[in-house]
């Protein structure tokens, strides 16, 4: 049974750490530096956790880091699972189920993404205000276990307005610039075609990427509040004047990472 499997993973994690996290953090490509700010760390490689999928993308470490950040207890995924790696949507979102079982009430999700909105530029940070799941696949498809959440979960506030307001105040105080926008999920692993980007623009997307939406959907289902932060690493296909490369994505994300880390830490201090 899925519920017992999640319980089993959570019990294993509890046996390996003294921390009881209330805030979950998922780090996107090139944004892993935040783990360096976590103190009194307990590190658990995914491959040691019973029930956990195991991933391998460059730029993703593949471990859970539990510890203290900004006076709060956090559990941080250094490396996430993607649909394009061949994981099912249930596997992609498995750690969020486990976080819920550990007592997590809030989730911060970050990612690297391409900009469709021409007012954005590489290096910008964007508060995610909403998502579009272009894929049509959903991690909640299948039998529902009411112990986790309702059959038909509401998504009218996929990204918590309260957390967005808090993050805006914090960024304003730090003098960090930000955009707001809608994030569209594309399956990858190829980048989009120019025609796809025009279609997504017509749908109302400001950015496009290959992650975050499944975890956001499941967190909302589980009653976890979500704050989403995107790092624009490139202009999307057809808007960009050069071809995409993963190295360029990582490089730009790394450069923006210091700003993102400062923002997230201060947000947690002011939680």
Least separation in angstroms between residue 120's CB and ligand HPA is 12
Query: Does position 114 bind ligand HPA by CB under 6 A?
Result: yes
CA 45 – CA 129 distance, rounded (Å): 32
**Segment lying near ligand HPA (by CB under 6 A), choices 2-10, 108-116, 122-130, 165-173:** 108-116
Nearest to 125 by CA among 170, 181, 201: 181
Distances (CA, A) of 41 to 77, 216, 253: 13, 25, 24
Binder among 52, 83, 131, 186 for ligand HPA (CB under 6 A): 186
Provide the strand spans (E) within 7-105.
23-27, 39-45, 63-69, 72-78
Token representation of residue 77: 């995924």
Tell me the HSE value of 150 on the side-chain side, using a 13 A CA sphere: 6
Binder among 10, 101, 167, 208 for ligand HPA (CB under 6 A): 208
**Segment lying near ligand HPA (by CB under 6 A), choices 139-147, 171-179, 204-212, 216-224:** 204-212
Active site residues: 29, 60, 82, 84-85, 112, 210-211, 234, 246
**Segment lying near ligand HPA (by CB under 6 A), choices 9-17, 122-130, 159-167, 203-211:** 203-211
Binder among 249, 260, 261, 268 for ligand HPA (CB under 6 A): 249
Give the three-class secondary structure for 35: helix
Which residue sits closest to ligand HPA, CB atoms considered? 114
């Amino acid at each position: 049974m899925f519920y017992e499997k999640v319980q089993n993973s959570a019990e294993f994690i509890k046996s390996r750490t003294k921390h009881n996290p209330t805030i979950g953090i998922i780090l996107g490509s090139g944004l892993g530096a935040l783990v360096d700010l976590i103190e009194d760390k307990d590190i658990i490689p995914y491959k040691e956790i019973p029930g956990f999928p195991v991933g391998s993308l460059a730029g993703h470490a593949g471990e859970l880091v539990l510890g203290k950040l900004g006076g709060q207890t956090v559990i941080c995924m250094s490396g996430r699972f993607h649909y394009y790696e061949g994981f099912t949507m249930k596997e992609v979102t498995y750690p969020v189920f486990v976080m819920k079982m550990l007592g997590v009430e809030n989730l911060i999700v970050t990612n690297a993404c391409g900009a469709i909105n021409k007012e954005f530029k590489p290096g910008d940070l964007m508060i995610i205000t909403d998502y579009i799941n272009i894929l049509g696949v959903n991690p909640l498809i299948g039998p529902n276990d009411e112990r986790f959440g309702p059959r038909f979960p509401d998504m009218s506030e996929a990204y918590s307005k309260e957390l967005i307001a808090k993050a805006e105040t914090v960024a304003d105080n730090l003098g960090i610039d930000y955009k707001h926008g809608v994030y569209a999920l594309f399956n990858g692993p190829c980048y989009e075609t120019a025609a796809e980007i025009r279609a997504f623009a017509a749908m109302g997307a400001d950015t496009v990427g290959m992650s975050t939406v499944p975890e956001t959907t499941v967190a909302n289902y589980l009653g976890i509040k979500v704050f989403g932060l995107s790092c624009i690493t490139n202009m999307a296909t057809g808007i960009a004047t050069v071809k995409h490369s993963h190295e360029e994505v990582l490089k730009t994300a790394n450069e923006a990472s210091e700003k993102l880390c400062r923002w997230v830490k201060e947000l947690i201090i002011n939680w």
